[in-house]
Copies of this chain bind each other. A is one copy, B any other.
Amino acid sequence: MELLKLFNLSPHRFRITNFVGGIKMEAENEIRREKYVADISSIREAEVRIKSFIHKAPVLSSESLNAVSGRQLFFKCECFQKGGAFKFRGACNAVFSLDNDEAAKGVVTHSSGNHAAALSLAAKLRGIPAYIVIPNGAPKCKVENVMRYGGQVIWSEATMQSRESVASKVLQETGAVLVHPYNDGRIISGQGTISLEFLEQAPQIDTLIVPISGGGLISGVALAAKSINPTIRILAAEPRGADDAARSKAAGRIITLPETNTVADGLRAFLGNFTWPIVRDLVEDIVTVEDNEIIEAMKLCYEILKVVVEPSGAIGLAAVLSDSFKNNPALKNCSNIGIILSGGNVDLGRLWDSYRK
A residues contacting B by CB (< 8 A) are 55, 58, 60, 63-64, 77, 79-80, 82, 84, 141, 148, 263, 295, 298-299, 302-303, 305-309, 344, 348, 350-352, 354-356
**Interface core residue of A141, A344, A355 (most chain B CB under 10 Å):** A355
Give Cα A352 to B63, complex, Å.
23
Least CB distance from A258 to B in Å reads: 26
Least CB distance from A109 to B in Å reads: 21
Q: Verify B302–A355 contact, CB threshold 8 A.
A: no
Q: What are 11 pairs between A and B in contact, CB < 8 Å? A: A55-B60, A58-B58, A79-B306, A263-B355, A295-B355, A298-B355, A302-B308, A306-B344, A308-B308, A350-B350, A351-B354
Task: List B contacts of A82 (CB < 8 A).
Answer: 63
Q: Verify B60–A80 contact, CB threshold 8 A.
A: yes
Q: Verify A306–B351 contact, CB threshold 8 A.
A: no
Task: List B contacts of A84 (CB < 8 A).
Answer: 306
Task: List B contacts of A306 (CB < 8 A).
Answer: 77, 79-80, 84, 307-309, 344
Least CB distance from A349 to B in Å reads: 9
Known A-B contacts: A60-B80, A79-B306, A303-B348. Give 7 more (CB < 8 A): A58-B58, A64-B148, A80-B305, A299-B348, A306-B307, A348-B351, A350-B354
Task: List B contacts of A305 (CB < 8 A).
Answer: 80
Top 9 nearest A-B pairs (CB, nearest first) are A306-B344, A58-B58, A350-B354, A306-B308, A79-B306, A351-B351, A295-B355, A302-B308, A80-B306
Least CB distance from A78 to B in Å reads: 10
Give Cα A174 to B351, complex, Å.
42
Give Cα A302 to B356, complex, Å.
16
Q: Verify B308–A348 contact, CB threshold 8 A.
A: no
Task: List B contacts of A148 (CB < 8 A).
Answer: 64
Least CB distance from A336 to B in Å reads: 18
Q: Quick one: closest B residue to A79, CB to CB?
A: B306
Give Cα A171 to B143, complex, Å.
57
